[in-house]
Structure 1
Amino acid sequence: MRSPRAVPTGAGGAGGAGGAGGAGGAGPDGRPAGGTPRAALAELLAGNRRFVSGQPIHGHDVTAAAASASGDQQPYAVVLGCIDSRVPLEAIFDQTFGSICVIRTGGHVLDRAVLGSIEYVVDELGVPLVMVLGHERCGAVASALDAVRGGRRPAGSLAHLVDQIAPAVHEVGVDDPGAHPMAIRRHVLRTVAALRADDLLAAPVAAGRVNVVGALYDLSTAQVTLLNPTRSRPVDHGRG
């Protein structure tokens, strides 16, 4: 099975995800001007390029923390990522305090609490961009792959994570030698599809006020790469 085509984060990269890309322009606090999904995505990717090139502009010290607390929070994006300790989201996007909302679960699994949190950020805080960020060599996806291959669910609550990721594994096929990276990509796209179809997110997404994109983080290069959406059944996030 062919894996989804990746879009580099260079000059044309941002345009590969729902038309969001290009230089949106950032204010003095590093937040994008304009408040659009396109500008938000452009700033996230620009921040990653700064991080990769070793030229970050945001420090994470007590002065920056105090400055962010002086008024109401005004994040411009929410990033749903994995709990992997090698992927610190504010750092890899070179973002300061208050710029992005971060949600992390094993394998960026989307459950009702996570979904409600994203709905809150979009509806109450007016955030125009949701990014689902997977990463190479994801251990949660590897666990799901092992469980499907062995026909045994793990014990405890880990079984819930595996159950949410397993459909992506089934879509790519466990016998494919590239099953692990392909399942990682497929799981990102399934999560994106679920968010776009959500009752409270579908309307602003359709109107262009909000964009939901999928991306992958390369552990070796620290580069974030957008994924082009393809047809994929959304993951069941367990809404009652």
Structure 2
Amino acid sequence: MKTVVHKSESRGFADHGWLKSHHSFSFAGYYNPERVHFGALRVLNDDQVAAGMGFGTHPHDNMEIVSIPLFGDLEHKDSTGRHKVIRQGDVQIMSAGSGISHSEYNHSREEEVHFLQIWVFPKEKNIEPRYEQKTFHAEDRMNRFQTVVSPDAGDALRINQDAYFSLANLDAGTTLHYPIKTAGNGVYLFVLNGDLQVAGESLSTRDAVGIMETESVEVKAKSYAEVLAIEVPMQF
């Protein structure tokens, strides 16, 4: 087993007034040659967007983009004519494929929206752009991992990569084991709230650990905690 630990305070940070963004990996004006990606995981941005503000229309291609609102609602428009609101409890995935333009705005005129935007390199390039979102209920991940993104879809959202996103909410004292689903994959565990011990590392809110060359990972909750596990190919 190999691990890499990313403490919350070591992330890149940008304050644009209307946007406060923490970058787990090199992004925009933040560059760290040791933190460009974790396998196929390229971007994990932890964004706070002021009321009524957002990202104007901009293009993407050949990237799998996952958005997870943690607080508030996010408004999405794209060049296919799609116009959706992604609410707290929802997960959205967009396969940019051969090219798509979109905008993202805080749907509220009164409160901030907090959301994660995550980019994963695709398995197949230049596919037809695709969009999907779904509501996932917190009770279905209490003291267990709930898969919300998967290459096999099923009850999850389908991703164009051998990658899996799973959420878990753990009561204090709970121990879970995350099994690596595809041989050769690694998993990046990002603590949304609380205190965990993962692979012998003590982690708190917004800390993360990337784990490679293992078949499973033990996760122990030292307090009530919420965690996002992103399993991705290490070679792609």
TM-score (norm 2): 0.35
Higher relative contact order (CA 8 A, sep 6+): 1
TM-score (norm 1): 0.35
Structure with greater proportional helix content: 1
